[in-house]
Structure 1
């Protein structure tokens, strides 16, 4: 999730260290890397387990097209559950934990980002109420006023995933640009190998998410007017991503210089 990139960057600032001492900064970065890597490994392992269970149990079956968030627990219970092994309740606990995790991380990320952009200085309880309301109120509205048995709820979930995919470049590209700047990072600037690997991974993720967006776009979007409008939006979106990538390159500087001279 793209907001976790901002959250990780903000959490490292919570450590009270003497930033003037390079050894203390290196120590903080070392332990922060361990913390982040462990969290990502656990998250990756859980996602792999969930995907594997559903693929093993339902891939290629007649039930596969009918499984969604609302009835996934029932299908798992019928397939794997017993009286002594209530898969349905295990799935429910997992969904609850997942929802709590997403809500908390999203709220904290928004809190740090908006606090930085707007320089907000509010009391902690007021800041908590405002930021958590933005996360909880829309969720409560969906839970209370929408039919959870409606297949469109799964479409809504897919739409949220697509929106997160759209935001990924705006988190990763500036991050790589910043950590690659010797002027900003000083002795902690990333090396050329790390920089190249980071760009390769980022481009790979963007291609995967581009395929996800295209797949969702072709399956769910209807109407010539809506499709034409989305094509324009996607074109602007791609142009802005290219701009972000080229923003601090020599090519961009030369183009900008040539435009200035011609004008």
Structure 2
């Protein structure tokens, strides 16, 4: 298995920092990318609805959600720092392929729901600020996919700087909004006392939890912390855990400030003036100027909304890449992956807005956050199991106290979700003209997911077995090689990827060079981490690939061939020419998978790009 976000893995060095502050700043960044997910447009919808309907009464839900988020994000960061795997990779190594496919499907639903909120939020902001029709604004949001590609090519630090700049814009906008609204601080403090006015408040509260504690952020954080290169000693790991916790605390408290500001703004303007049904962002924007008495209030509101949508969509598409690579070990062209993620969000948004009009966007935003909340259990429970496992965490497992608190948080979230699903199904059955359809579809599906949830909760407890690392990748060393040949050139390079295509490539190389030639087997680790950190990456896939490469070398040396190996890191079309051009090779032999057309778009066309970058003959073996 390759490195998580290989192109940026271990790309930021924290070593050789002389002062504690400089080292701390070197670790700062990942949590700010995470924090934007906690202040995305989905949060705005639930916060506005909660503030306008119930005043300050649900502020305590925001505070509780923020504390939950801080705990869970610290667990996610711990998993990535200690094991050098993201949450999706750890799940893939632990559960059977069938369970992993289901968990992958649920994770993709969560990311699609999250991206839907970001698309709608950013489109609404564009619509409000520039008076562009909402449908057109939704389509414009496709363009920010290419902004992400540009930023990640510039390095993770540039991306982090861009995100932090957007967070500052959001934060400063709400500093001025609070100045305009002038909330009563006594009422604000009373809102921190737990209360639940009615069942409608429960629906909003669950939406707030879903909008705050996001499953895709757990996958993302466990990957982003691997962008830092530090000493892999117990002391170095302990220091990395401490600095990342500080990073998370600061970043998530900033996110709490933004969410609280939105809810307080809604309470101080709409609820105070008897406008209890304001749930649409557009309505909130429209009546801000007459209530607050300044034209800057709606302008700052729209600017902050665009910044929130732009920043959170970047992190959402990164999470999509992590989930796909981690669960499926499937790498496709980054721009294709991001276009797919965006289209999954845009298509339902366009359909719903076209059919029902712009007035339903607020309900759609809140629904997306409730869907996110329903997915949380399937990400949280495996995470708690992983960071509690002594063998997996190598002495850095969480304490018993932290385990208890984590399971209490998981129990609260899952219990609220079960109650929500029960109430919704009960309502559907009472109002449906044909309840048989529900009994045959929705209810069995709900029970199936409940069984899956119980399975991932109790399986490690019942089996009490050490979790083995399963290598689900298509690596296969059971290949047959020949030893005939007669080529007059004696330095032959062969690319290998540990699939069936290696057999044809290596046998063809042997036919060219015979037993007297020198062979160099080249493999490129092309995870996101390897692309960013290069040879400094030390993730699980790198270790597996290095081991398999050495097994090839040993196996072929035992057959009498002179074989050495070369492990590269990054994009094959860039790395392979670098290795070839600096070496003294006579010919390069490559096996291909034989895919053309659409598959070339998905997986890239390495051979076509590479052959123009090397100065020796290229021998292509089609399989």
- Bin for the TM-score computed over the shorter chain: 0.7 to 0.9
Decide whether aligned partners of structure 1 residues 76 and 142 sit closer, same or farther in structure 2, where only a CA change above 3 A counts.
farther
More helix by share: 1
Aligned to 2:218: 5
The size of the alignment, in residue pairs, is 245
Contact residue 81 and residue 88 of structure 1 kept, 8 A: no
Aligned pairs for 1:1-80 (under 5 A) are: 1-19=214-232, 21-59=233-271, 63-80=275-292
CA offsets, 1:12-53, max 9 Å, x none?
A: 22212342x111111222221122222211112211111122
Aligned to 1:108: 318
Gap runs ≥5 in structure 2: 1-213, 465-623
CA offsets, 1:145-179, max 9 Å, x none?
A: 62585433223222211210111001110000000
Question: Is it true that 1:157 corresponds to 2:369 in the alignment?
Answer: no
Decide whether aligned partners of structure 1 residues 59 and 170 sit closer, same or farther in structure 2, where only a CA change above 3 A counts.
same
- Deviation of 1:98 (Å): 2.0
CA offsets, 1:186-228, max 9 Å, x none?
A: 2101110111111111212223344454566567896224543
Query: Relative contact order (alpha carbons < 8 A, sep ≥ 6): 1 or 2 greater?
Result: 2
**Could you tell me how far apart the structure 1 residues matched to 2:369 and 2:446 are?**
16
SS in structure 2 of the partner of residue 190 of structure 1? coil
Pick one of 406, 409, 414 that aligns with 1:201: 409
Question: Is it true that 1:241 corresponds to 2:453 in the alignment?
Answer: yes
Contact residue 103 and residue 135 of structure 1 kept, 8 A: no
- Greater C-alpha radius of gyration: 2
SS in structure 2 of the partner of residue 63 of structure 1? coil
Aligned to 1:253: 463
Contact residue 2 and residue 167 of structure 1 kept, 8 A: yes
Pick one of 313, 324, 327 that aligns with 1:117: 327
**Could you tell me how far apart the structure 2 residues matched to 1:232 and 1:180 are?**
32
SS in structure 2 of the partner of residue 82 of structure 1? coil
Decide whether aligned partners of structure 1 residues 243 and 53 sit closer, same or farther in structure 2, where only a CA change above 3 A counts.
same
**Could you tell me how far apart the structure 2 residues matched to 1:156 and 1:217 are?**
19
Gap runs ≥5 in structure 1: 255-263
TM-score, normalised to structure 2, is 0.36
Contact residue 2 and residue 164 of structure 1 kept, 8 A: yes
**Over aligned residues, Cα RMSD in angstroms?**
2.7
Q: Which moved more, 1:202-211 or 1:143-152?
A: 143-152
Decide whether aligned partners of structure 1 residues 234 and 76 sit closer, same or farther in structure 2, where only a CA change above 3 A counts.
farther
TM-score, normalised to structure 1, is 0.81
Aligned to 1:132: 338
Decide whether aligned partners of structure 1 residues 41 and 117 sit closer, same or farther in structure 2, where only a CA change above 3 A counts.
same
Aligned to 2:19: none
